[in-house]
Amino acid sequence: MSYQVIPPPASLKKFVRSFWVLENSAADVSQKSFTVMSSGSPGLIFQENPSLFTGFEGEQLPQLFVFGQARKYGQLQGGGNFRTVGVIFEPTALKQVFGLNANELTDQNACISYLTKTSLCEQLLHCTSVEQQVSCLSKFLLAQTHRYNHYNPKLVYATTALQQGKRLADVLRELNLSERSLERLFLAHIGITPILYARICRFQASLSLLRQGGFRSLTDIAYSLGYFDQSHFIRDFKLFSGVSPRIYQRKAIERMPGFPEWELKK
């Protein structure tokens, strides 16, 4: 299985973190279980073969769909030979690109045709290369951003500051906003509360530390990121990933960040 990250054009950097491609052309076509971890970002996915993956409830996923914030981990089932192209949006992008309140898609996905009238799926199917598909997606997303004017610099500052580990109380003071006011903005533009978003950002920071190694213990990670103790860290990690940090270290096969398959052999 191969994974590729493609940076967005300059015109989309306010809205898109990256494009990605996940391909499996190996001889092993057996069904596998994949975990989708909470990432703090919504996204878009195009499946060239829409019948290979099923969603969190065993449902068939649309061929081209947008998904919102995930408040906890979920499991996908899939396998076979496939090529999937995706978009990782900036946290505030659902309102900026599609004009909808982001909380409508929290823990949900929606076929692109439910959000806007477009022939994008057919266009992507007729592309002959990944480069053409990414170019097609870029043109579509850029046109969408011209339809709406929901860019909010305070929200961009807040999400960036929380990603960097700044305390919510400090962010509120710097923006001169009440917690309730920021919460309303987050629910409309991001889909979850600032407190939950900060927890997911902290979980993502712990994932980065686990991938890098070089720490002495889980307690070191817990205290360096502001958890009360190791138990608090493990509880949050399980909520957003489905497993403990130790199980993640030992058994996760993470070819695509945040989308591990699992080695179940002891």
- pLDDT tens for 133-150 read 999 999 999 999 998 878
Residues 226 and 115 in one domain: no
Residue stretches of the chain with pLDDT short of 50:
264, 266
Tokens encoding 59: 């449902």
User: Of 122, 145, 168, which marks where a domain is finished?
Assistant: 145
Residues 130 and 158 in one domain: no
**77, burial (CB in 10 Å: exposed 0-12, middle 13-18, buried 19+):** middle
List, in sequence order, the alpha helices (H) in the chain.
93-98, 112-115, 120-125, 130-145, 153-163, 168-175, 179-189, 194-212, 218-224, 230-241, 245-251
| pLDDT attached to residue 187 | 97
| pLDDT attached to residue 263 | 58
- Which residue from 164, 97, 101 is spatially nearest to 137, judged by alpha carbons? 97
Asked if residue 240 lies in contact with residue 37, where contact means CB atoms within 8 angstroms, the answer is yes
| pLDDT attached to residue 29 | 60
| pLDDT attached to residue 23 | 87
| pLDDT attached to residue 192 | 98
Q: For the chain, what is the domain count?
A: 2
| pLDDT attached to residue 266 | 43
Which string of b and e fits 175-185 if b means at least 16 CB within 10 Å? bebeeeebbeb
Residues 133 and 17 in one domain: yes
Tens digit of pLDDT for each residue in 182-219? 999 999 999 999 999 999 999 999 999 999 887 889 99
Look up the CATH number of the domain holding residue 216: 1.10.10.60
Residue 3 pairs in a beta bridge with 22
Look up the CATH number of the domain holding residue 98: 2.60.120
Domain containing residue 41: 2-145
Residues 205 and 139 in one domain: no
| pLDDT attached to residue 51 | 76
**β-pairing verdict for 16-24 and 2-6:** antiparallel
Residues 13 and 126 in one domain: yes
Q: How far apart are CA 105 and CA 69, in angstroms?
A: 7
- Which residue from 14, 15, 71, 41 is spatially nearest to 163, judged by alpha carbons? 41
User: Of 145, 173, 189, which marks where a domain is finished?
Assistant: 145
Residues 193 and 215 in one domain: yes
Residues 140 and 182 in one domain: no
Residues 111 and 205 in one domain: no
Q: Which backbone phi and psi does 76 adopt, to 5 degrees? A: -110, 150
Q: Which backbone phi and psi does 50 adopt, to 5 degrees? A: -75, -5
Residues 72 and 135 in one domain: yes
Residues 194 and 128 in one domain: no
Tokens encoding 159: 């999400």
| Residue carrying structure tokens 């969408």 | 144
- In sequence order, the 6+-apart residues with CB closer than 8 A to the CB of 33 are 75, 76, 77, 261, 262
- Which residue from 103, 84, 114 is spatially nearest to 42, judged by alpha carbons? 103
User: Of 113, 145, 177, which marks where a domain is finished?
Assistant: 145
Per-residue DSSP letters for 184-252?
Answer: HHHHHHTSS-HHHHHHHHHHHHHHHHHHH---S-HHHHHHHTT-SSHHHHHHHHHHHHSS-HHHHHHHE
Residues 68 and 102 in one domain: yes
Residues 8 and 135 in one domain: yes
